[in-house]
Amino acid sequence: MSALDRVITTFKTGPERVRQRFRRRPNQFIERLQEQCRINMEATQALIDYMAKPSKKNAQRVRHLEKEADEMRRILIDELNRTFVTPIDREDIHSLSRAIDDILDDTWFTINEMDILSVSPNLFLAEMAELLNRGAEEIKLAMDRLAEHPNVASNHAVRARGINNDMETLYAKALADLFQKPKDLDNVITMLKLREIYRHLFHAGARVGDAANIIDDIVVKFF
């Protein structure tokens, strides 16, 4: 076989070799990212529960999950720093882990500030929480399918971006509704509080979009 033929063969079989590396044994980095996604799903469901029934217990549930996710990310970064060869770009692993972690951070900020500021849930907040949970689910499904079914993973990433778009639209509607309220002092204070809570959920939705984009980049580069 000529040198040119070897180059062509390597180019053609490269993506398949990457897939085989995934199949030989579970990859620790993919598993860590999947675990982060699982924790995110639990946290966003706890956020929905909080919107239905605000309580210190529900708030602390998210706080516990946020700490658990932080520890998982610390382990992932430590393993990444000690591993010379990774199945996908280490920059992608790092960025995806950070985006997933940011979703949970903003979920915690939402509940924490609602609890501290005594903000009662409303229909906009409940709907935004539902959207965030759906977005977290699509990211989890994308990670679960990435190794064996990358095209399916990409489809879930597309759905996640669509949910982020829905969050942007809902955020704009929620803000518009705020500014239609009476402008006495009590209502202005409530408006300021709600605007901060809406902003956290808006940012969480944006992080869903970031995670989806990174997953798409991985699929394009390696599959």
Pick the range with the lowest mean pLDDT from 22-26, 41-45, 112-116, 186-190.
Answer: 22-26
Pick the range with the lowest mean pLDDT from 14-28, 84-98, 208-222.
Answer: 14-28
**Confidence band (pLDDT; 50, 70, 90) for 9?**
low
Whole-number mean pLDDT of the chain? 89
**In the chain, what are the domains?**
28-222 (1.20.58.220)
Closest CA to 145 of 159, 131, 162: 159
For the entire predicted model, the pTM comes to 0.85
91 vs 181, higher pLDDT: 91
Overall average pLDDT of the 135-161 stretch = 96
**Confidence band (pLDDT; 50, 70, 90) for 169?**
very high
Instruction: Please state, in angstroms and rounded to a whole number, the distance separating the CA atoms of residues 167 and 135.
Output: 10
Type of residue found at 209: G
**Confidence band (pLDDT; 50, 70, 90) for 2?**
low
Overall average pLDDT of the 108-126 stretch = 94
Q: What is the pLDDT of residues 130-147, one digit of tens each?
A: 999 999 999 999 999 998
Asked if 164 and 135 touch (Cβ cutoff 8 Å), the reply is yes
Q: What is the pLDDT of residue 25?
A: 52
Overall average pLDDT of the 163-173 stretch = 97
Instruction: Please state, in angstroms and rounded to a whole number, the distance separating the CA atoms of residues 91 and 114.
Output: 35
Which string of b and e fits 208-218 if b means at least 16 CB within 10 Å? bbbbbbbbbbb
SS (H, E, C) 59-79: HHHHHHHHHHHHHHHHHHHHH
Conformation bin of residue 26: beta by default, left when phi > 0, alpha when psi is -120 to 50: beta
Asked if 62 and 86 touch (Cβ cutoff 8 Å), the reply is no
